[in-house]
Structure 1
């Protein structure tokens, strides 16, 4: 596709989105703070901390989307997966087979496989604490001030290098005034959300705070075999913190815990098999006939200590110390039938300790951050692959192991004002990762292994039993130039190099793929970007434009397919080769009247493999199949459009906000499969009323108003041995909810 044709399609689809939203003269709530009060007094500007200091978004030479927590609440957003309806070229979804595992992709880069030990392509930070674990990372919109989405490689500013981008979840500081908030929601499928926060000052400089969220919902569907709810929700989350702040010294100690007891998501069959009723697709895409069970539990928790102290005019020392751990006990029924045709009982557990030190500099003509980062952690888990038809009495492959990681990094990033209009920004990071992988893979006769409760299982053979270690080391630079011809326009160009560490495949089968003991290599990416950020028409219109081109090398891809050996699921991680990714992004926010706000974003990405070497049909030499491989979870177009109309009413402010999201087709895997999702449109609408004193809020929210059925994941195991299992997982159906809140 030529660039001209791509641009024309973008403009056409943008026009379609605007036409769908505009007739109602409303939109979802603004995707970012837009008032002077919400933006620290800067008229219409958005304040972000993408570069580890508070500054106007217009001045930041980085592609950033900032979304306030108030905005997401006003839209009725259930969790951070709603970010894909705000930011261009972004995919955020609940991972296949789970309730709270996050899949995140930015500009074609992400992590489809949430198995333990893999590095994410998109980094997640909660109050600057790096969260390595995708399990439990589908965070609810709770006690959050804002979320920032940074696109492109990150590393010279953040604790852990990430190759695709970063999501920053920023909670509110406590302050020194007594207060709190309670909120309740009720909606479709008996959805009940109850939350509350409170802040209690203990002196002029010290305060403690707490928050709790309980969220439950019946399933969108049902397990037709067991009668259990399917796609339900049962989450309890809490957070406590204590803060000291005297203006020169800030210290925060915080603890959080989230427990998710929602039933496992088994998906739904998309095809029949041999005319058997239990193998037929269900009437509803949210129903299942899974027989493996309905027990699921995910627990994540953490402690953190953050300190900031001024050490002189314009110099601040900052320390971030954190410990996190978690465990998931889950079940996945790959065949979606009452029998154990292809079942997976599994558990994952991990812990991580991180320490980050920063020196923040704010001088008249130069600003920057210099830091050191240390991470130590252990990610482990185990699962059975149960294949009933592979042998009389059943056949099981047990897979277990762990990855130990020690990482140390030093980084720096500074900006220098050459003139009042021309600025140079540069950064450099050195990273060293030491990894040790242990993998055990065994075969048993019987349904499940001894590890998962079958003491009578008969041991057959060991497929993998090894421990190996590797060290990965890399320098990754960044440089950008920006020019402001006026105070309201910023033109910039940047280049950065991203790095994602290598590791070991926890599913590696030494018999089938002997080289798995050597692990896989790191990924690298060189990303070039040019952009413009501007405020126009007396600062009533804000427009951000960006064009990017990235050269992606040695991409890590997990390939799973039935093996020629009966009962064996072959899996290996390939450094697939190289790819070119280019695209454009536009974000518009217009305030033509105090009662009207328009919001839109358009993203186009063209991601093509230039080399993709892999083994085909038992061949002994790798073959380049780049013309048959595609980027997964990467729609060519993402378009979000919304309009907010507001008016004074009954001692408060009424806002009506419909929104439209268009996403073009996606591939679930690197190859064409029946699970590939065609393009679709989502329409939402919200009505919110807030009292003039900001104490009372009432909201009515409708999401997916056209009741669109769209897949967000799947498993593909064709063949008679596996029941010809093609399983899909779907986004939420049409839902409505009513919310009320009170501040005190």
Structure 2
């Protein structure tokens, strides 16, 4: 980020906050959203360690945001978390509408291909979501979202090496009620959301929520005339709760999401290597892609949760869940009308998980022990179409995973002030990968509709199995001289199992049949959590250092033999260190403020790669950078409220900053995003009886153009395909809500 832009952002944030403090005759009160997050003492209650605790008591760097806060500030989906949680990147994956990529403290996974594991675990009501497709969850019927930074391998398993995101939906309770919300905004945005709870007797309730999102595109496909960056999503949840006594709680829940938004093809950033003359689009949201506009993502799941109080100190919990999904998509890498570099694709996945927990709550000992099982299958296929060569390479494959784990995490009050917490998890993953790649003469293979394509060289055709296992410990020591201060130090190890590259080409990279190795991280953290000034100011500070080993880096490069070569490097080792500061202030009844600052310094110490298919690894660490990891992130927001027309009016400005970052490990100046800042604002009026609410959300007020994804396939053979994807422009949304 240029110094002038950084200074401008700081000034804007000061102006925004200044405008709050100069409201005429303000009546200070804690804002509704903050009140939903906190208990009567102003403290936030979380479940980061699989049990309810005060945020101050948890020796983990984390951010907790209520669903009401996200909705009130106009957050469309969970990617808005990156504007509120420090040292976090959460974006819609390049070329998709609902596939999620997440990074925390420099650790994550950008490649959403089936078989690759995410580095940041996503949980919906304690159910692990194994695949990123359909994981860009919209904000509705959500109680809160918790962001846990650093490896969470003890309690959350093998793929939380960077951290975990917990999406906690609302429990039904036993009172009839509900709400409906209608929204209209820029680009003909229409959102309709409704939820209801219906008690049947004193012990049983059923309820549900449905959300329908429609929006025209921010841009246009100049070749086909279709909307580009549009939205067409229908989502719903239904659940039933049975609580015959204080010791028994059973919940059955099901959800489904259908996303028929047009595919995002990006926009070309440079000329196309001497083919047709390059014509830049007038808008970064426009495209000239000619592959088509059909796209559909469908995900669904069902879960059964049971909690049974065995005694005053013991609780047994069981979580059973099944999820599946299917994606049909099109990616036009060249962004021209012709099939220069086109990729039609589909993905399928399904998973069954079972977790058993035994929770213990004694006077001086608290903890949880459990068993975990996952049975998952991810598969898919895609064509890589090189129109200039009249060549198509079909890639297809399947990864079957069975994962077994046993874990325990226990906290012991050594004294009233000193607390020791320790955990250990054993994980074993069995994986079987099947990969098939074949050349065809013609545009597309028979699998994608061209029955006249001539089959050619088989490039990969193998099945292989591997097992990976690891013990991941965690230990922390806390000193709490009083209820309002916690000083802690912790160590944790993260583990992400190895696997097989579904794009692996056994001719170009023969070792691909052996798969790639697991990656691990050792993370050390010291922190302070505090409630100051009679609980009018909450301040959390954390400093961390991590040793990252055998990082799995997916590399895709053009091949002179035709097609694109893919391989996964276990990239040696890297050091990551940084700090986070989070503040929450409630100085008077009608005013609250939140601020967060993050700093991450990530540096490769060794990066071994087999360059151009060589057999001897070469260390290129001096020429590699951590992707999707800006050095600085920051955000600040404030809410002021007062009386108006018998009801309550509130105003919330918000500013977020991100410094320069790298799109991939290899610096690419044409693609790497510059730093940027976003300015948002929201205002709301609530009726005296809290039944009606009118609000407006203004997002990206400065109309910033900021790049969030891209592809890099230079060279005339590939149409010099360097394309970018962008975050939303300035929007305004008006909402009306009725509660009953």
Q: TM-score, normalised by structure 2?
A: 0.96
- What's the counterpart of residue 310 of structure 2? 311
Q: What pairs with 1:165-314 in structure 2 (closer than 5 Å)?
A: 165-245=163-243, 246-273=245-272, 279-314=278-313
CA distance in 1, matches of 2:287, 2:444: 22
- What's the counterpart of residue 659 of structure 1? 654
CA distance in 1, matches of 2:12, 2:107: 26
Q: Say whether the 8 Å CA contact 1:354–1:376 is kept in structure 2.
A: yes
Q: Say whether the 8 Å CA contact 2:161–2:520 is kept in structure 1.
A: yes
**1:596 and 2:594 aligned:** no
Which of 718, 732, 740 is equivalent to 1:736? Answer: 732
Between 1:276-285 and 1:494-503, the stretch displaced more is 276-285
Q: Say whether the 8 Å CA contact 1:26–1:657 is kept in structure 2.
A: no
The alpha-carbon distance between structure 1 residues 347 and 184, as it changes in their structure 2 partners (threshold 3 A), is same
**1:668 and 2:663 aligned:** yes
- What's the counterpart of residue 34 of structure 1? 34
Give 1:280 deviation, angstroms: 2.3
- What's the counterpart of residue 72 of structure 1? 70
Give 1:618 deviation, angstroms: 5.1
- What's the counterpart of residue 645 of structure 1? 640
- What's the counterpart of residue 356 of structure 1? 355
CA distance in 2, matches of 1:15, 1:661: 10
- What's the counterpart of residue 612 of structure 1? 607
- What's the counterpart of residue 569 of structure 1? 564
Q: What pairs with 1:540-559 in structure 2 (closer than 5 Å)?
A: 540-559=536-555
Q: Say whether the 8 Å CA contact 1:600–1:640 is kept in structure 2.
A: yes
Q: TM-score, normalised by structure 1?
A: 0.96
Q: Say whether the 8 Å CA contact 1:26–1:642 is kept in structure 2.
A: no
CA distance in 2, matches of 1:419, 1:475: 29
**1:24 and 2:39 aligned:** no
Paired residue secondary structure (2:717): helix
CA distance in 2, matches of 1:167, 1:395: 42
**1:112 and 2:110 aligned:** yes
CA distance in 2, matches of 1:465, 1:278: 39
CA distance in 1, matches of 2:595, 2:577: 21
Give 1:159 deviation, angstroms: 5.1
The alpha-carbon distance between structure 1 residues 181 and 407, as it changes in their structure 2 partners (threshold 3 A), is same
Q: Say whether the 8 Å CA contact 2:118–2:159 is kept in structure 1.
A: no
Q: Say whether the 8 Å CA contact 1:31–1:67 is kept in structure 2.
A: no
The alpha-carbon distance between structure 1 residues 664 and 17, as it changes in their structure 2 partners (threshold 3 A), is farther
**1:718 and 2:714 aligned:** yes
- What's the counterpart of residue 142 of structure 2? 144
Give 1:39 deviation, angstroms: 2.3
CA distance in 2, matches of 1:12, 1:608: 27
CA distance in 2, matches of 1:642, 1:232: 28
RMSD over aligned CA atoms reads 1.8
CA distance in 2, matches of 1:30, 1:69: 16
- Structure 1 gaps of 5+ residues are 1-7
Give 1:205 deviation, angstroms: 0.6
CA distance in 2, matches of 1:422, 1:518: 48
- Structure 2 gaps of 5+ residues are 23-28
Give 1:693 deviation, angstroms: 2.7
Give 1:133 deviation, angstroms: 1.1
Q: Say whether the 8 Å CA contact 1:493–1:531 is kept in structure 2.
A: yes
- Per-residue Cα deviation, 1:422-454 (whole angstroms, up to 9, x for no partner): 100000000000000000000000000011010
CA distance in 1, matches of 2:690, 2:37: 13
CA distance in 1, matches of 2:31, 2:704: 23
The alpha-carbon distance between structure 1 residues 139 and 31, as it changes in their structure 2 partners (threshold 3 A), is farther
The alpha-carbon distance between structure 1 residues 426 and 274, as it changes in their structure 2 partners (threshold 3 A), is closer
**1:622 and 2:620 aligned:** no
CA distance in 2, matches of 1:247, 1:229: 52
CA distance in 2, matches of 1:669, 1:91: 14
The alpha-carbon distance between structure 1 residues 425 and 346, as it changes in their structure 2 partners (threshold 3 A), is same
CA distance in 1, matches of 2:30, 2:133: 30
- Per-residue Cα deviation, 1:605-629 (whole angstroms, up to 9, x for no partner): 0000000011234544221110110
Q: Say whether the 8 Å CA contact 1:34–1:45 is kept in structure 2.
A: no
- Per-residue Cα deviation, 1:130-177 (whole angstroms, up to 9, x for no partner): 001100000000100000000011122225541010000001110111
Q: Say whether the 8 Å CA contact 1:647–1:654 is kept in structure 2.
A: yes
**1:504 and 2:492 aligned:** no
Q: Say whether the 8 Å CA contact 1:343–1:385 is kept in structure 2.
A: yes
The alpha-carbon distance between structure 1 residues 77 and 278, as it changes in their structure 2 partners (threshold 3 A), is farther
Paired residue secondary structure (2:300): strand
CA distance in 2, matches of 1:694, 1:319: 37
The alpha-carbon distance between structure 1 residues 82 and 738, as it changes in their structure 2 partners (threshold 3 A), is same
CA distance in 1, matches of 2:507, 2:37: 60
CA distance in 1, matches of 2:376, 2:179: 36
- Per-residue Cα deviation, 1:182-213 (whole angstroms, up to 9, x for no partner): 00100000000001011111110100001110
